[in-house]
Amino acid sequence: MQREKKEKQQKKLNSNTETALKGKSILLGITGSVAAYKALDLIRRLKDEGASVKVIMTESACRFITPLSVELASGQSVYFDMFKSPLSHINLPVEADMLVVAPATANSISKYACGIADNLLSTAAIAFSGTPDRIIFAPAMNWRMYENHVFQKNLHALIQIGARFIGPEKGSLACGEEGTGRMAGIDRIIESIKTSLSKHDLAGEHVLVTAGPTREHIDPVRYISNRSSGKMGYAIAKIAKRRGAEVTLISGPVSLRPPDDVTVINVGTAAQMLSAVMDNIHMSSIFVMSAAVADFMPQETKRDKIEKKESFALQLIKTKDILGQVGRLKKRPFTTGFAAETGPGLDRAKKKLLDKNIDVIIFNNVTGVGAGFDVDTNEVVIIYRDGAGTIKEKPLPLMHKEDVAEAIFDTIKDLGYKQF
């Protein structure tokens, strides 16, 4: 019974999922680096996201992994000989939404920077007519090669025309040395691809996001908190960045890695989160309050650990209302809040929207299957005021939290948001 329920939930989720890579055609170049084996995982991950992947390998790449293994991973023919596949250097880039070179050696990057076309990959790169930000390089090389001033000149020339570079990262290298030269992780490469392929309708905006729980200390070793994992808030920050915004993320204690190129302010208590919000609110055009701030805090925090007793009374007082304070500002950004409930509570969410004088509120029944805490999915209702001040509801089906974040920003854009 439980298995059938999970399978039904997964089918429902799959039908509602619309990933940034679904239906996209990726042309992947693999060059002669020891990191070439990582391309197999990249291919599988891209396919899992719904993308079609065609691969060009250089002659050197074929010395590290076989074309057969790449063909099995991609499910398509692999190209490596320009003369064996006439016009492939034209047809492949014409059909591609994006060109990704991973791993990208110093040789392949420098060839492109200098306009050299002496093999199938370099020729296809020159023939690719997409905008420069539709070309991503994931460098992989020895740290000495990466720091070479001639290579750096080539790299910066490509950055100036808009080509994207992800990594390299610092760590242990194949030669046994430590330094900057490792190919970026697959998650980072895929996120960079999604960013390049996404609409950048938030460019020029500064989005302020709060995420995670707060901890209100009882004594040096105990605190009051909640089950928030921060996944919803981090998804919102990631999507805002992906859509071109400058993003500041105020995060309570979580175990998540922040999105790349996002300013992160780590806080612990509700008071610290309030202070961070008020310090950054006036430079923001959109504010999304997705953190699960503790409603109560101990009236007194003990300096020493409280001894174990048969019973213990704890006096609690209210924490300050962050959304309420933002709503009372004379000039505030377009503000979205969350209303987490344990059952039907749309009326409570609507009241919260009006009482706090905000623009959008996201109702979330945290007891729903696949929704709430510590999961990658959510099922919410977006509640908002239209231009006439009428309260409207937009229920969303169960979907990944990144898709929920996309829907939230779509709603904000549709409302023609403005600073108040």
Q: For 225-249, write each residue's pLDDT tens digit.
A: 988 999 999 999 999 999 999 999 9
pLDDT at 11: 52
Q: How far is CA 317 from CA 216, 295, 299, 300, in A?
A: 11, 8, 6, 9
Average pLDDT, the chain: 91
CA within 13 Å, CB half, 356: 26
Nearest residue to 103 via CA among 61, 51, 45: 61
Nearest residue to 380 via CA among 414, 346, 347: 346
DSSP 8: H
pTM higher than 0.85 for the full model?
yes
Two tokens, residue 177: 């040395």
Report the catalytic residues: 175
Architecture of domain 206-414: 3-Layer(aba) Sandwich (3.40)
pLDDT band at 20 (very low <50, low <70, confident <90, very high): confident
Torsion of the alpha carbons at 284, 286, 287 and 288, rounded to the nearest 10: -150
- DSSP lists the bridge partners of residue 123 as none
Is 404 within 8 Å of 378 (Cβ atoms)? yes
pLDDT, average across residues 372-382: 90
Is 282 within 8 Å of 332 (Cβ atoms)? no
Nearest residue to 73 via CA among 88, 53, 92: 53
pLDDT at 240: 97
pLDDT at 387: 76
b/e map of 69-97 (b: 16 or more CB within 10 Å)?
A: ebeebbeeebbbebeebeebbeebbeebb
Is 54 within 8 Å of 92 (Cβ atoms)? yes
Q: How far is CA 101 from CA 54, 83, 165, 388, in A?
A: 12, 21, 10, 50
pLDDT at 328: 93
Is the pLDDT higher at 304 or at 106?
A: 106
pLDDT at 336: 96
Cα 316 from chain centre: 37
Q: Is the pLDDT of residue 419 over 80?
A: no
Q: Is the pLDDT of residue 124 over 80?
A: yes
Nearest residue to 350 via CA among 391, 322, 300: 391
Nearest residue to 204 via CA among 241, 262, 244, 264: 244
- CA terminus-to-terminus distance, the chain: 51
Q: Which long-range contacts (CB under 8 A, 24 or more apart) does 350-354 make?
A: 350/383, 350/391, 353/383, 353/384, 353/385, 353/391, 354/391
Q: Is the pLDDT of residue 251 over 80?
A: yes
Q: Do domains 21-197 and 206-414 have the same CATH topology?
A: yes
Q: Is the pLDDT of residue 340 over 70?
A: yes
Q: Is the pLDDT of residue 313 over 60?
A: yes
Q: What does the domain layout of the chain look like in residue ranges?
A: 21-197, 206-414
CA within 13 Å, CB half, 177: 9
pLDDT, average across residues 372-386: 90
Per CATH, the homologous superfamily of domain 21-197 is Flavin prenyltransferase-like (3.40.50.1950)
pLDDT at 345: 75
